[in-house]
C-alpha cells in the first residue's frame, strides 16, 4: 500500500485525510475495474488504458495511484487475501466448539463440520483463482516480479499458519509438523480442488471443491495433530 501521506503539507490538518479517503475510493474503483477485466479477458491482455476507462478515470489518474499494472495487482491481491483471512478468522471464532476432541485427538466429525461451514460461507472463487493463476505464471516468467510475488504469498501463508496454530492450540493440540508446512499442504489441496471443480464445470463449484477437500482434509488434520501435553 503506498499512500503518499508523507507529501501532505503540515499547515492543513484536515485536507490530507479527506484527500486520503477520496484517494482510497479511487484506488478501490480502479481495483474493481481491473479485477473484472482481468477475470474476463486476462491480466496480460488487459491494457492500463482499459482499466482506467472502465473505472471512469484517465490514464493519468491510474498512474497517480499505481505505478504499474503489477502494483495494482499486488494491491488487489492484498485486498482479496485480507478479506479471506478475516472471513476465516471470524468463522473460526464463531464456530469453534469448546470441545473438539475425541479422546486426546481432534474429533474428525467436528473437523468435517467446520470445513463444511467454512466452504459454505466462502464466495465462489473461480474468478480469483483464474486471475491469481495467471499472475503466478507471469511472475514465474518475470525475474523482477517473482521475488515479490513469492514474498507476498509467504506472508499470507504465515498469517494463515499462525491462525491455524492458535486454533488447534486452543483445543489443547499442536501440529506434528511446522504449521507453515501444514498450511501449505492445506492451501494447495484447496486450490487443486477448486481447479478441478472449474475444469469439470461443476454446476455447484463450491460444493464440488468441498467434496474433494472433505475426502482427505479431516483425516489429514487428525493424523497431523497431537495432544499439547501428552
d(CA 218, CA 113): 9
Instruction: Name the DSSP letter for residue 102.
Output: E
Beta-bridge partner residues of 106: 101
Binding-site string for a second copy from residue 125 to residue 164, where x marks contact by CB under 8 A and - marks none: ----xx--xx-xx-xxx-x--xx-xx--x-----------
Cell reading at 92: 473460526
Q: Which is nearer to a second copy, 8 or 39 (CB)?
A: 39
Q: Could you give the C-alpha distances from 56 to 34, 68, 136, in angstroms and in order?
A: 12, 18, 28
Beta-bridge partner residues of 102: 105
Q: Which is nearer to a second copy, 8 or 127 (CB)?
A: 127
d(CA 74, CA 97): 36
Q: Tell me which residue of 104, 112, 129 sits closest to 228, measured CA to CA.
A: 104
Minimum gap (Å) between residue 59 Cβ and a second copy? 25
Q: Which is nearer to a second copy, 4 or 150 (CB)?
A: 150
Is residue 72 a contact partner of residue 51, using CB atoms and an 8 Å limit?
A: yes
Q: Using the rule CB under 8 A, is 107 a contact of a second copy?
A: no
# binding residues, a second copy (CB under 8 A): 39
Q: Using the rule CB under 8 A, is 200 a contact of a second copy?
A: yes
d(CA 102, CA 110): 9
Contact with a second copy (CB under 8 A) among 101, 118, 198, 211 = 198
Q: Using the rule CB under 8 A, is 47 a contact of a second copy?
A: no
Q: Which is nearer to a second copy, 53 or 196 (CB)?
A: 196
Contact with a second copy (CB under 8 A) among 3, 22, 169, 223 = 223
Minimum gap (Å) between residue 200 Cβ and a second copy? 6
**According to CB under 8 A, which residues from 3 to 42 bind a second copy?**
42
Q: Which is nearer to a second copy, 31 or 186 (CB)?
A: 186
d(CA 68, CA 151): 19
Q: Using the rule CB under 8 A, is 104 a contact of a second copy?
A: no
d(CA 174, CA 162): 12
**According to CB under 8 A, which residues from 168 to 197 bind a second copy?**
176-178, 181-182, 184-185, 188-189, 191-192, 195-196
Cell reading at 150: 513469492
d(CA 214, CA 222): 13
Residues that bind a second copy (CB under 8 A): 42, 129-130, 133-134, 136-137, 139-141, 143, 146-147, 149-150, 153, 176-178, 181-182, 184-185, 188-189, 191-192, 195-196, 198-201, 215-216, 219-220, 223-224
Amino acid at each position: 500500500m503506498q499512500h503518499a501521506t508523507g507529501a501532505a503539507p503540515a499547515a492543513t490538518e484536515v485536507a490530507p485525510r479527506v484527500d486520503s479517503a477520496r484517494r482510497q475510493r479511487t484506488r478501490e474503483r480502479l481495483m474493481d475495474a481491473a479485477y473484472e477485466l482481468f477475470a474476463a479477458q486476462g491480466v496480460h491482455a488487459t491494457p492500463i488504458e482499459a482499466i482506467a476507462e472502465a473505472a471512469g478515470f484517465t490514464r493519468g489518474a491510474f498512474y497517480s495511484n499505481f505505478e504499474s499494472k503489477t502494483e495494482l495487482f499486488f494491491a488487489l491481491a492484498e485486498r482479496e487475501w485480507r478479506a479471506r483471512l478475516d472471513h476465516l478468522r471470524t468463522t473460526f471464532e464463531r464456530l469453534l466448539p469448546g470441545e473438539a476432541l475425541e479422546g486426546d485427538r481432534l474429533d474428525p466429525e467436528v473437523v468435517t463440520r467446520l470445513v463444511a461451514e467454512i466452504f459454505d460461507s466462502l464466495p465462489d472463487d473461480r474468478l480469483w483463482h483464474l486471475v491469481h493463476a495467471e499472475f503466478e505464471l507471469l511472475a514465474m516468467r518475470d525475474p523482477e516480479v517473482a521475488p515479490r510475488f513469492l514474498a507476498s504469498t509467504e506472508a499470507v501463508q504465515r498469517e494463515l499458519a499462525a491462525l491455524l496454530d492458535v486454533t488447534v492450540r486452543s483445543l489443547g493440540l499442536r501440529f506434528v509438523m511446522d504449521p507453515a508446512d501444514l498450511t501449505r499442504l492445506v492451501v494447495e489441496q484447496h486450490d487443486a480442488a477448486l481447479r478441478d471443480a472449474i475444469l469439470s464445470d461443476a454446476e455447484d463449484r463450491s460444493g464440488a471443491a468441498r467434496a474433494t477437500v472433505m475426502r482427505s482434509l479431516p483425516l489429514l488434520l487428525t493424523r497431523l495433530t497431537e495432544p499439547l501435553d501428552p
